[in-house]
Structure 1
Amino acid sequence: MAGAQPGKRERLALAASRVLHEQGVEKTTLADIARAAYVPVGNVYYYFKTKDQLVEAAIEAHAEGLRSVTEELDQLPTPQERLKALLGGWAEQRETAARYGCPFGSLSSELGKREDGLDRTAATVMQLLIDWAEQQFRTMGRSDARDLAVALIASYQGISLLTNTFRDPELMAGQIRRLEDWIDSFS
């Protein structure tokens, strides 16, 4: 059904991904997420028994968002255009990155300090992005596609950190332009 409102579970997962990005895992409460999802806090436990289950749902929401973006990008005719469109999407989010960092990179960094399985779950989503970028470089005929994909994602994560640290969205804008030129150099 087109235009249907997401159910409570989906609203909670999406709200969790946003609130966890803005506040971090440790600071965020279930009540914060319930409020952001417009769901009574008592209803959260019907869908998620623990905060970690809600964090896992937020990770899956990020994965679904990434899959949706890459499916859309895959409609572009060349791998260079696909990669540059990915960069363009990141550039559009530079104000958010300046305030909170990369939505998924920040979460991955925070969860990476844990050893409860959520660290590995988050890593699988980052792996999806690297794999997609690797496929773009491989389509360009690059034998070093994996290294180039890691370099691209690492560059973005690094500039996201610096953009957030200095609260300067123009740092990201400049680095994105350099990455676009870098991608063009493979033509």
Structure 2
Amino acid sequence: MRGKKKSDRAVRLTLAAQRLFHRSGVGAVSLRDVAAAARVPAGGVFYHFPTKARLVLAAAEARRAAATRLLEGLRAAHPDDPEARFAALAAALAETAPVVARYGCPVMRMIADLAGATGEERKARALLQDGLAEVEAFAASCLREAGRSAPAARRGAGLFLQDWQGASALSLARGDPGMLRDAMAAAPGRMPPPRRRGAPRGRRPPA
């Protein structure tokens, strides 16, 4: 039971750190702030995370794992329908609109806060960047499986990432969750159509 209690505390501290880093920024949050938010004695946070950098890394690892779980769940839910899988990803991101409109995208907030970081914080930033790349690769794989050419799938995935993050920034700037919701609702319809079988590559159809 004692080991379980320690594990529970570590999870609570990590979740509290994610919330505080998102709302206030990494630089403004102390270990004592996290302990108070998690309702853990101050000594408890130092036991599990002796440095703030260690806690930052744990928070990044948790966000990265959550992104992987989301994508794996979408694959399992739509194994044979890549377009439905793509639309489900857009819908899942749209669900974050209320909190994004208040505090911005949590992943991008941490990535920006950790610019120029060293050591474990630099590793945390790289993990979060890998998470964005995983989302982009997931979108590209959906488009490729749906019949897009490889270059079109890459372009479409890049545009999707731009739509997501651009709309997230606008939602924050205007305090309007509808910006992100609308962008994600429209994203599947803006994807490049599948390449027709037998159509010559590199040539546009006549106007």
**What TM bracket, shorter-length normalisation?**
0.7 to 0.9
Q: TM-score, normalised by structure 1?
A: 0.88
The percentage of aligned residue pairs carrying the same residue is 31
Equivalences for residues 18-33 of structure 1 within 5 A: 18-33=19-34
Q: Are residue 156 (structure 1) and residue 156 (structure 2) matched?
A: no
How much is the aligned-residue C-alpha RMSD, in angstroms? Answer: 2.1
Helix, strand or coil: the match of 1:26? helix
Query: C-alpha separation between the residues in 1 aligned to 2:108 and 2:194?
Result: 26
Task: Choose 124-133 or 16-25, whichever is displaced more.
Answer: 124-133
Q: Are residue 138 (structure 1) and residue 139 (structure 2) matched?
A: no
Q: TM-score, normalised by structure 2?
A: 0.80
Deviation at 1:24, TM superposition (A): 0.7
Residue number in structure 1 paired with 2:90: 87
Maintained 8 Å contact 1:79/1:136 = yes
Residue number in structure 2 paired with 1:11: 12
Q: Are residue 39 (structure 1) and residue 47 (structure 2) matched?
A: no
Helix, strand or coil: the match of 1:49? coil
- Give the 3 Å change call, closer, same or farther, for CA 37–46 of structure 1 in structure 2: same
Helix, strand or coil: the match of 2:27? coil
Deviation at 1:128, TM superposition (A): 2.0
Residue number in structure 2 paired with 1:167: 175
- Give the 3 Å change call, closer, same or farther, for CA 80–25 of structure 1 in structure 2: same
Query: C-alpha separation between the residues in 2 aligned to 1:28 and 1:39?
Result: 16
Q: Give the alignment partner of residue 110 of structure 1, picking from 100, 113, 121.
A: 113
Q: State the aligned residue count.
A: 183
What amino acid maps onto 1:167 in structure 2? G
Equivalences for residues 48-63 of structure 1 within 5 A: 48-63=49-64
Deviation at 1:124, TM superposition (A): 1.9
CA deviations on 1:44-87 (whole Å, 9 max, x unpaired) are 11111211111110010001111111111002141111111111
What amino acid maps onto 2:52 in structure 1? K
CA deviations on 1:117-176 (whole Å, 9 max, x unpaired) are 243232222222222222222222331222322221121011101100111111122212
Task: Choose 56-65 or 100-109, whichever is displaced more.
Answer: 100-109
User: 4+ runs of 1 displaced by more than 3 Å?
Assistant: 183-187
Q: Give the alignment partner of residue 99 of structure 2, picking from 90, 96, 109.
A: 96
What amino acid maps onto 2:143 in structure 1? F
Helix, strand or coil: the match of 2:26? coil
Deviation at 1:37, TM superposition (A): 1.9
What amino acid maps onto 1:46 in structure 2? Y
